Structure 1
Amino acid sequence: MVDYVFLGRSGLKISNLIYGNWLTHGSQVEESAAFASVKAALDAGITTFDTADVYANGTAELVLGKALRSEPRESLEILTKVYWPTGRRRHNDAGLSRKHIMESIDSSLQRLGTDYVDVYQAHRYDVETPIEETMQAFADVVRAGKALYIGVSEWTAEQIKYAHDFSRELGFQVISNQPQYNMLYRVIEPEVIPMSEKCGVQQIVWSPMAQGVLSGKYKVGKKPPKGSRATDKKGGARTIQRFMSDEILTAVESLKSVADELGISRAQLAIAWTLQNDNVAAAIIGASRPEQVAENAVAADVVIPAELMSRIDEILAGVIIDDPRLTWENAPHERPDITR
């Protein structure tokens, strides 16, 4: 059953499963299926919804806003993000400059059909904008009542420290980081999580199932199932590629014995595993069908015993990615050039 937890060092409670619409709303699924999946999330007790202005170039926000329109706003927590190119994709339509943040929050609110978002997140760190400028802009967004809290996504430990220090000086809170985190991809454990704990920041993690690989749907030597993430030419196939090696798929097959012992699926095991980490407040789940939401919601209160956590590590030994440098290496090292 879905639980409700405080996010970071704040008084905001969110559901420990979050419904996210990256690669689905406005892109991979029809609007009717998106609406049905959002309803399934609400029926499961999920009250927190994550999106971004860049998803389907704003369409994902628009669809989510329409899907939630009949729900009481005070009963929801809506999260969105800013950084990547949006809109007309002109020279100021990306990054974390004051101009882009101020224009983007207004556009996101209009598409979502709300006066405010609960958490406004920096989708990546902008190395070409002074951090002071970015944090001052976020402070003004909060003071204007357009966002209640600020979060970041895929920031390094050092960058999270910057955000924490500047936000305290400016009188607002950075309460969350949104990184990729799952059984196979653990790069935040050595540095990001210890720094986050010091700064009162918690993780709301994306890809808890490693783009679906940890569900066991992909098999060595077999074609990916029709309609799966690995067949999606709009972005899904590219993002899942790192987890599609024979070595990883073989190890994932061995996780079935652990899931069977708990009486759950491998997908539920993967989600429950992320929630075992005390610094993880919530895991983001997506869906192209409403029944997927109901299935994943089972994981919200599964507790994996210590001996099974150790067995998972033994099974996955050799395929776990845990180099903390990857957070920096995989991040953009310059603002996206969208004028070429």
Structure 2
Amino acid sequence: MEYISVQGLQKPISRLMKGSDYFFHDSYDKAAANLDSFMAIGGNSIDTANIYCGGQSEEVIGRYMQERGNRDQLVILTKGAHHDQNGPRVSEQHIRADITKSFERLQTDFIDLYALHRDDPNVPAGEVIEALNEYVKAGTVGAIGVSNWTWQRIQEANEYAAAHQLAGFSFSSPNLSLAKPNEPFWTGCVSADVETCAWHEKEQLPLFSWSSQARGFFTGRFTPDIRDNADLVRVFYNDDNWERLERAKRLAETKQVTAIQIALAYVLNQPYPTCALIGAQSAEELRSCDEGSLIHLTKNELDWLDLTKDNL
């Protein structure tokens, strides 16, 4: 397992981050077994959120850490300030309510990585920085970041933080995958485009990619004629992505791996620090991710996979 570091947190962070959006109380044994297997390969970072599974995801993780006594071995990334049926919730009041609930559910007094799940461009970025810095100064949050914010808003926030001697955002979690989306998977979500990736390279700001393997697009289960997954059709079905899939298959053959492992390696071989959120729920899926995370891709291979070069 490879690791990265994030400003504000002393622990190393495994580059594979365990997704937990299927952690429910009634399947606790499965979640616990998945986490045990993840830790056995060197994984230590878990992605969750205030809204996942109606709060059960955080509660399951809290129970797991209490039963195993391994809180200090784990890096917890949780998120708050997601919108609700009434609209955006990016405010000091909502941040405070969500993070307080997260502490309770996780049964911890320290959150390693805390991120805002959505943005509200009508709220000055400086207000958000001020609100989150209360927790950084109190020592109850290690590093702060965002999910689904544009790079321009992150830059605005970090310029404010620097000018006021406050902690800025030290990571971002948009979607980044070899398959490029036609539209956001969910309203308000952000995918890393060319400009975003160039900014991350310039700033060397860590990126934690959700849907890092394009929700199974590279598994071989999908073709232009198989259209039974409406969301996948809507988001990822286009001619360029089918070409990317074919190139991933060709490169996989030369390396004696699989196309989905190449897709994972694409995320983890960017010229800036990256982690990949993975949804592995079986030993086979976890093994595939573990092996894929160690594949090295050259810049030429990355460019060819991404259709910016014609020849490998």
Same fold (TM over 0.5): yes
In structure 2, the partner of 1:172 is 167
| Counterpart-to-counterpart distance in 1, 2:226 and 2:126 | 51
CA distance in 1, matches of 2:65, 2:145: 22
**1:1-340 equivalent positions in 2, closer than 5 A:** 2-7=1-6, 11-22=10-21, 24-26=22-24, 30-69=27-66, 70-85=68-83, 95-168=89-162, 169-185=164-180, 188-199=192-203, 201-222=205-226, 230=229, 238=231, 241-245=234-238, 248-249=241-242, 251-314=244-307
How far apart in 1 are the matches of 2:37 and 2:9? 28
Check 1:303–1:206 CA distance in 2 against 1; reply closer, same or farther (3 A cut). same
- Cα deviation for residue 218 of structure 1 reads 1.6
Separation in 2, partners of 1:50, 1:292: 17
Q: Flag the 1:242–1:316 CA change in 2: closer, same or farther, 3 A.
A: farther
Any unmatched runs of 5+ in structure 2? 182-190
> Which moves more between the two structures, 194-203 or 96-105?
194-203
Higher RCO (CA < 8 A, seq sep 6+): 1
Aligned pair count reads 299
Q: Which amino acid aligns with 2:139?
A: G
Query: Any conservation in 1 of the 2:146–2:173 contact (CA below 8 Å)?
Result: yes
The 8 Å contact of residues 7 and 281 in structure 1, kept in 2 or not, is answered as: no
Instruction: State the Cα RMSD in Å.
Output: 2.8
Rounded to whole Å, the distance in 1 between the matches of 2:199 and 2:40 is 35
Runs (5+) with no aligned partner, structure 1: 225-229, 231-236, 318-340
Report the alpha carbon displacement of residue 76 of structure 1 after superposing the two structures with TM: 1.2
Q: 1:38 and 1:13 mapped to 2: Cα distance?
A: 18
Distance 1:199 1:313 in 2: 22
Q: CA deviation at 1:310?
A: 4.1
Structure 1 residues 164, 246: CA separation in 2 closer, same or farther (over 3 Å shift)?
closer
What is the aligned-residue identity percentage?
Answer: 25
- Given that 1:274 and 1:280 are in contact with CA atoms closer than 8 Å, whether structure 2 keeps it comes out as no
Where has structure 1 moved over 6 Å in runs of 4 or more? none
Could you tell which deviates more after superposition, 101-110 or 251-260?
Answer: 251-260
Where 1:176 maps in the other structure, the secondary structure is strand
Shift of 1:203: 0.7
Q: Residues 274-312 of structure 1, C-alpha deviation per residue, up to 9 Å, x if partnerless?
A: 111122321111123243122211122210244433442
